[in-house]
């Protein structure tokens, strides 16, 4: 699927993640074109996730920023195959608005990320762990898992009955 570059809206698909960059007021024509593009993408892919990138400096004020995010919400409602949406923005107002929007779109999990967290957002959308582990930590987890497996095996082979050591003292 080819990317779509409109005046204030850029769309591209990579590894089942749709990247949507909104950089100003989206016209009605751009919105119609983007909805058609999303419909084509949704029909061609079983499972897609969406990353929305909106910087507050690209808008005249919070009102315009919020209005455009409401339009993005319309897009999110029309893509029923989307499971996750990451909103990457430098606006705390928009981050809070996105959380509210996520609460009213059934089946869509929305998380917000700061403007400098586009890499963690993409990682989350791809279903990968957000926690980075060093090679030493991976080795330690491997060793602990191996020790746990040995202990579990050793515990299973013990045939002692805990009641064997039970001694009743004169109970009468």
Q: 8 exposed, middle or buried (CB, 10 Å; 0-12, 13-18, 19+)?
A: middle
User: Domain ranges in the chain?
Assistant: 4-125
What pLDDT was estimated at residue 113? 93
DSSP 75-97: HHHH-TTEEEEEEEES-HHHHHH
Architecture of domain 4-125 in CATH? 2-Layer Sandwich (3.30)
pTM over 0.95? The answer is no
**pLDDT, tens digit, 9 for 90 and up, residues 75-90:** 788 777 788 889 999 9
Give the count of alpha carbons within 13 A of 117, CB side only.
Answer: 16
**Confidence bin at 15 (pLDDT 50/70/90):** confident
């Amino acid at each position: 699927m080819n990317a779509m570059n409109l005046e204030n809206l850029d769309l591209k698909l990579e590894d089942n993640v749709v990247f949507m960059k909104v950089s100003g007021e989206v016209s009605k024509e751009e919105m119609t074109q983007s909805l058609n593009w999303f419909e084509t993408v949704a029909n061609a892919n079983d499972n897609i996730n969406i990353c929305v990138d909106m910087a507050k400096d690209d808008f005249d004020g919070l009102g315009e920023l919020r209005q455009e995010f409401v339009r993005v919400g319309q897009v999110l409602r029309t893509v029923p195959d989307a499971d996750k949406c990451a909103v990457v923005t430098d606006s705390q107002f928009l981050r809070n608005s996105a959380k509210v929007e996520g609460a009213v779109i059934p089946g869509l999990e929305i998380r917000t990320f700061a403007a400098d967290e586009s890499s963690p957002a993409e990682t989350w959308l791809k279903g990968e762990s957000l926690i980075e582990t060093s090679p030493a930590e991976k080795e330690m987890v491997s060793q602990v898992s191996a020790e746990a497996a040995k202990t579990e095996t050793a515990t299973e082979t013990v045939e002692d009955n805990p009641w064997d050591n039970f001694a009743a003292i004169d109970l009468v």
